[in-house]
Homo-oligomer: A and B are copies of this chain.
Amino acid sequence: MNNKDNREALRIIPLGGLEQIGMNITAFEYGDSIIVVDCGFAFPEEEMLGIDFVIPDISYLKENSDRVKGFVITHGHEDHIGAIPFVEKQMRVPIYATKLTMALIDRKLEEHGLAGEIRQRVVKFGQQIILGDFRVEFIKTNHSIQDAAALAIYSPAGTVIHTGDFKVDYTPVYGDAIDLQRFGEIGKKGVLALMCDSTNAERAGFTMSEKTVGAAFDRIFREHENSRLVIATFSSNIDRVQQIITCAHRYGRKVCLDGRSMVNAIGIATELGYIDDYGDTLIEMDDLERYAPEKTVLVTTGSQGESMASLSRMALSIHKKVRIRPGDTIVMSSHPIPGNEKAVSNVINELNELGAEVIFQDTHVSGHACREEIKLIYSLVQPKYAIPVHGERRHLQAQANLAETLGIPSKNIFLLHSGDVLEMTERKAKVVGKVPAGSVLVDGLGVGDVGEVVIRDRQRLARDGIMIVVMTLEAETGRVLAGPDIVSRGFVYVREAEDLMEEAGEVVRSAADGALSADTDWNGIKTRIREELGAYVWKKTKRRPMILPIIMEVE
């Protein structure tokens, strides 16, 4: 990429975030400068058994590390900051973000022993930072976390606006509404490309203001004055928690936070002055019993049915300090994220079983723009090119269709894939190549040591278990000294399948004998055992356990 023409082009290289929700990370390249917008993780797909989360493959950034000028972070959600420590362990890149976002990043770096190791700079809305050939301006937006920013990325090839995750909230709980004027002003000057949040691009209308949830809380507090209230929501939704605190204060209740991430996030927000507890509304868990139940509100994690979270523990009566009692009122202040519906439903069932009332209407609004808001941003920015971001293919497609109805020619709309190199100038834009991109699986302390082979094995083990065939042979003669024995796990309850296991033993012995007398090598013996035992088991059970022959040799 060294010819003159290319050096005058802007290159946009998404390294994640286009095939799934989460793992947002996009590189912008001009001349010798690279900047990276966001660096998030994703939750594993259902088939990624045992995986904790997924981070982006950043080999392209590592190869070009001398050119990488900085991370520019839009907001403090895990799908935008979660992979930062993993990347910073490999390459030290300066980080630019707004105040709350940076505080959340700080905690992550600390947890990974990186505190003080990385250059960090807190940026204010309206401020511009210079990163090599780029200038980046942070623009105030609204989202389900405070201090969310859109970015205006100025390059010699033109300006790109990246919305980050956003909604339009004319009446936010804290701080200002989205800076629509600035979007208009920059748009008026000419914008090359708009990269806009697609999450809700299939949803008609406008996302409601966060304040409407406050009204719903008010009604619930009023109608349940004799109940203890337990409200589950996202720990990062600081405005939501603020509204609960405000409502509790109004109705003379104390608020107790529960769940590690809730306590952490609200702790940070309180320190930074983003939460007002009216002096004494927040109390510690240990002080909870000093108040009558109907004078308290518990704010907990677990609104997505996460098995280890606070609300799930309450539902299963294994919470260390809280027991759900008949008469309690539980408010699910969130919608299930796709894939979590079943888990959320299970928690509701358990809470009902304990005699609690569960409320899940009107107590959540999305943090993402619906179709009318997306149209508004397009109309303010009026970009030449549209690059829908943040979402699965269906969401990107929905925004692409929307952009077309707004007059952007379809040849100027790009549905990119991770790794695509989109090269653009004022004259033209085109995908010119591909860089390595993909998912790196994190399992416990292991980063990338679990790949396709291991996952495929786990899937097979999960489905039908394993049968291990062990035998000991004399090295020189090939004589069988012990076995073959069969040990199985996850296949069948052996005590109730004695006949099956006995016959399987015979199949294995005959397979081994056959192979040995045919003077087969050991791989041949293993293959024959695998095939014959596999065929027998399939015939008898229609299952395909993993069959693992192990031969030991004795000198």
Contacts and interface: CB of A to CB of B under 8 A. Distances in A.
Interface string A5-47: 0000000000000010000000000000000000000000110
A93 to B, nearest CB: 26
A454 B491 contact: yes
Nearest to A443: B543
Interface in A351-402: 352-353, 358, 392-394, 397
A479 to B, nearest CB: 11
A353 B338 CA distance: 20
Contacts of A481: 472, 481, 554
Interface in A436-489: 443-446, 449-451, 453-454, 457-459, 461-466, 468, 470-472, 481-483, 485, 487, 489
A124 B308 CA distance: 52
Given A454-B491, A481-B472, A444 B542 contact: yes
Given A472-B472, A489-B466, A394 B352 contact: yes
Nearest to A545: B50
Contacts of A466: 461, 466, 489
A401 B345 CA distance: 18
B462 A462 contact: yes
Interface stretch (A153-161, A405-413, A492-500): A492-500
B468 A393 contact: no
B550 A449 contact: no
Copy tally for this chain in the complex stands at 2
Contacts of A173: none
A380 to B, nearest CB: 27
A487 B444 contact: no
Contacts of A457: 465, 489-490
Given A445-B541, A496-B449, A548-B489, A465 B458 contact: yes
A131 to B, nearest CB: 34
A322 interface: no
A407 to B, nearest CB: 20
A89 interface: no
Interface residues of A, number: 64
Contacts of A446: 492, 541, 543
A540 B461 CA distance: 23
Contact of A554 (B445, B450, B465, B554): B554
Contacts of A348: 393-394
Contact of A465 (B352, B454, B550, B553): B454
A554 B453 CA distance: 35
A538 to B, nearest CB: 9
A542 B540 CA distance: 38
A317 to B, nearest CB: 15
A349 interface: yes
Contact of A393 (B352, B459, B461, B543): B352
A21 to B, nearest CB: 10
Given A458-B461, A464-B50, A465-B454, A553 B482 contact: yes
A339 interface: yes
A49 interface: yes
Given A443-B543, A492-B449, A485 B349 contact: no
Nearest to A51: B463
B454 A490 contact: yes
A345 B393 CA distance: 9
Contacts of A19: 349
Nearest to A464: B50
Contacts of A349: 19, 392-394
A341 interface: yes
A552 interface: yes
Contacts of A449: 492-493, 496-497
A342 B339 contact: yes
B553 A451 contact: no
A422 interface: no
Contacts of A487: 548, 550
A205 to B, nearest CB: 14
Contacts of A50: 462-465, 490, 543
A450 B548 contact: no
A139 interface: no
A348 B392 CA distance: 9
5 contacts: A445-B541, A449-B493, A454-B492, A470-B550, A472-B552
Given A458-B461, A461-B462, A470-B552, 20 more contacts: A19-B349, A45-B342, A50-B543, A338-B345, A345-B392, A348-B394, A358-B394, A443-B464, A443-B541, A444-B542, A446-B492, A451-B493, A453-B493, A457-B489, A457-B490, A458-B465, A458-B490, A468-B468, A485-B550, A485-B552
